[in-house]
């Protein structure tokens, strides 16, 4: 099963070697040596390619916004994630989307799913929920499954399970918790411990 997930993520990456390296190795593969070299980070060609890539991503985002008809606040949340996904990967995005039932939180999530799918980058996000019913409604998984948490097992995790969890999370940049307010402090601690 782990290999199937990895194969799907690799096929979604297309010909982009840096994305494939990140999926396979958890980070871009670069050789680290003891010497310091000063180089231009971006050549003129790189800058043009980056601008074209961001323009393409922006056009996809605009189309998704039109298709989903997001209101101002929903669009704001959507743009924060899409802009972050187009930028450098160094700073994690920590974001909370809150509101009463029916305010469109799930609608924003569906728009983001469509955005990453349109880019062929579905592997970059996962959706987790506390219960199987909630997870099924949003097309996600329970956090217990995704992060290998089993209360009966305690803090022990086998190498096999750790490998499966690691495989499930390869290439993932965004984790969406549905109904995060239902998680206890203990649940959040377990999730944090599994991710560290």
In a domain, 141, yes or no: yes
> Structurally, how many domains does the chain consist of?
2
**Do residues 162 and 174 both lie within one domain?**
yes
pLDDT single digits (tens) 112-162: 999 999 999 999 999 998 888 988 888 889 888 888 887 666 666 677 888
**Do residues 146 and 85 both lie within one domain?**
no
Distance CA 87, CA 98 (A): 24
Cα angle for residues 90, 94, 99 (degrees, 5° grid): 155
Q: Which residues contact 18 (CB under 8 A, 6 or more apart)?
A: 28
pTM (two decimals): 0.70
């Amino acid at each position: 099963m782990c290999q199937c997930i990895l194969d799907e993520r690799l096929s979604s990456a297309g010909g982009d070697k840096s994305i494939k390296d990140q999926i396979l190795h958890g980070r871009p593969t670069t050789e680290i040596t003891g010497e310091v070299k000063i180089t231009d980070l971006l050549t003129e060609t790189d800058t043009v390619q980056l601008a074209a890539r961001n323009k393409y991503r922006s056009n996809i985002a605009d189309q998704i916004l039109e298709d989903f008809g997001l209101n101002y606040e929903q669009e704001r949340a959507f743009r924060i994630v899409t802009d972050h996904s187009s930028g450098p990967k160094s700073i994690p995005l920590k974001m909370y989307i809150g509101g009463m039932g029916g305010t469109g939180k799930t609608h924003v999530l569906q728009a983001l799913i469509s955005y990453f799918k349109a880019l062929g980058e579905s592997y970059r996000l996962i959706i987790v929920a506390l219960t199987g019913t909630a997870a099924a409604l949003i097309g996600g998984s329970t956090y217990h499954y995704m992060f290998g948490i089993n209360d009966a097992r305690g803090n022990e995790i086998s190498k096999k399970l750790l490998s499966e969890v690691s495989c499930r999370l390869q290439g993932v940049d965004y984790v969406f918790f549905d109904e995060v307010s239902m998680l206890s402090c203990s649940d959040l601690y377990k999730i944090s411990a599994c991710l560290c």
